[in-house]
Amino acid sequence: MRLLLALLLVTNIVYANSKLETVKTSCILQSEYSGKTLEQQKEVLINQAKRDALEELYGSLIVSKTNVENGKLISDKIKQKAIGAIRVKGNPKFYNGENFGEICSDIKAYITEKDLEKYSQKQVSLKNFCFNDTTVATKDIKYKAKEKAYREILTKYKPSLRNISLEEAQELIHKFNISKDKFDFNTGSYCFDAIGSVYPYELELYKAKPTSHKKKKEEVVREVPRVVETKSNTLKKITFANDYLEGQVSYKIVGDEAHVDIFIDNIYRSLKGGVSVSFPQFTNSRRILDTSSNKASTLKVYKKGSKLWNAKLKKVIRSSYLLIEGWQTSWRKHNMQSISLVIDMYKMDELVLNVRAVLVNGKKQLLLPAYGREDQQDFPVKQIIIKR
């Protein structure tokens, strides 16, 4: 009897942890969607609730390393696929919200275990994997063996990745462990067992990065931000940099939505630091339809009235508009922090973003940009105006 109860308990725990079903509430102000019919407004509510349900239903399966493909976060594509798999059970409930002109909806969102499996991490094992290349110096054998093992793991899911570099492969393999390694001096072979973990959907969406040559450091002017804007029919890019940080903001308009990706690279040394984007037109996050960052960053949202530090006053103030901030306690050199956003621009002619980044070196703050237009906290920012 005790064994049966124990089995039932284990079964219930497994089902609860999978979180295949959840109830979500979403609200909008009708005045912000006055050009849409009631049915279209209901559709907005349902889609918003699905986005809110994403992390609860899929959990950490969707929160993986942030990879970049042509300036666009691959994790965004994975999220869109996952959102498309979320279903609504029964009929949504629509009703008036607590605020004037507000309408809300309750939906019961669910996915199947098969949907969950598509985004599960997969382990690949290599037994007695050996590397032997007489043209490789002894000091480089371990590095080259690891590179070959990475390729072996990835090609099991995507054969076209057989020539991928170790740097690119490390972005796709989330865990990699070597055991029972040994070197045979007679044959020059380095052999080991290895286990690597991958997300099949990441590999499906991944495209190899084009070869590029890094700019020499002397080409970067100390503390003078460079600004380059590249225009195209679909994608616009703005870059700015100094001796410590290099930034790129890319964006495009898709219907009534602005898709914005912010990438900041630490080119100085490993320190704590973060990336911030604020919205002078917004007091809350209602128009932020989706937001994500790379796995190492902690993302926080501060609406109007939040407590923030002011650089000039040297004291805490109350914010006057929306701020989103990503932070890393250990931001390694040549690692990138990113913030990806989908913003509702319905009935907006332009969208204003204030972007900045900082490295903290003891009591000294290394800012990007170092000077210029300032935000509500009196920090210099790169202001970007996205026009319809």
Residues 303 and 267 in one domain: yes
* DSSP assignment letter at 113: H
Asked if pLDDT for residue 285 goes beyond 80, the answer is yes
* Distance in angstroms (rounded) separating the CA atoms of residues 343 and 204: 26
Q: Is residue 346 part of a domain?
A: yes
* Distance in angstroms (rounded) separating the CA atoms of residues 169 and 109: 35
Residues 36 and 96 in one domain: yes
Asked if pLDDT for residue 67 goes beyond 80, the answer is no
Q: Which of 87, 117, 147 lies at the terminal end of a domain, its last residue?
A: 117
Asked if 28 and 96 touch (Cβ cutoff 8 Å), the reply is no
Residues 110 and 246 in one domain: no
Task: Give the pLDDT confidence score for residue 14 in this predicted structure.
Answer: 38
Residues 307 and 281 in one domain: yes
Asked if pLDDT for residue 107 goes beyond 70, the answer is yes
pLDDT tens digit sequence for 9-45: 333 333 344 458 899 999 999 888 888 899 999 999 9
Task: Give the pLDDT confidence score for residue 185 in this predicted structure.
Answer: 80
Q: Is residue 49 part of a domain?
A: yes
Q: Is residue 217 part of a domain?
A: no
Residues 230 and 362 in one domain: yes
Residues 312 and 375 in one domain: yes
pLDDT tens digit sequence for 299-357: 899 999 999 999 999 999 999 999 999 999 989 888 888 898 999 999 999 999 999 99
Task: Give the pLDDT confidence score for residue 94 in this predicted structure.
Answer: 95
Asked if 199 and 213 touch (Cβ cutoff 8 Å), the reply is no
Residues 263 and 319 in one domain: yes
Residues 361 and 274 in one domain: yes
Asked if pLDDT for residue 272 goes beyond 50, the answer is yes
Residue type, 184: D
Q: Tokens representing 186? A: 């007679």
Q: Mean pLDDT of all residues in the chain?
A: 80
Q: Which of 198, 213, 238 lies at the terminal end of a domain, its last residue?
A: 198
Q: Which of 88-97, 147-156, 190-199 has the highest mean pLDDT?
A: 88-97
With cut-offs at 50, 70 and 90, classify the pLDDT of residue 199.
confident
Residues 23 and 133 in one domain: no
Q: How many CB atoms lie within 10 A of CB 6?
A: 10
Please give the residue range of the domain that contains residue 135: 122-198
Residues 134 and 243 in one domain: no
Please report which residue ranges of 59-198 form alpha helices under DSSP H: 74-85, 113-118, 141-155, 166-172
Task: Give the pLDDT confidence score for residue 297 in this predicted structure.
Answer: 66
Residues 316 and 380 in one domain: yes
Asked if 54 and 47 touch (Cβ cutoff 8 Å), the reply is no
Of the two residues 386 and 121, the one the predictor is more confident about is 386
Q: Is residue 362 part of a domain?
A: yes
Structural domains in the chain (count) = 3
Asked if pLDDT for residue 1 goes beyond 50, the answer is no
User: 279 Cβ partners below 8 Å, 6+ apart?
Assistant: 321, 322, 323, 324, 351, 352, 353, 354
Q: Is residue 211 part of a domain?
A: no
Q: Is residue 2 part of a domain?
A: no
Q: Is residue 204 part of a domain?
A: no
Q: What is the DSSP string of 187-252?
A: TTEEEEEEEEEE-HHHHHH--PPPP-PPPPGGGSPTT----EEE--SS-EEEEEE-SSEEEEEEEE
* Distance in angstroms (rounded) separating the CA atoms of residues 384 and 375: 12
Q: Is residue 92 part of a domain?
A: yes
What CATH number should be reported for the domain holding residue 291? 2.60.40
With cut-offs at 50, 70 and 90, classify the pLDDT of residue 62.
low
Residues 284 and 372 in one domain: yes
Q: Tokens representing 350? A: 């332009």
Asked if 142 and 192 touch (Cβ cutoff 8 Å), the reply is no
pLDDT tens digit sequence for 287-303: 998 888 775 567 899 99
Q: Which of 117, 136, 164 lies at the terminal end of a domain, its last residue?
A: 117
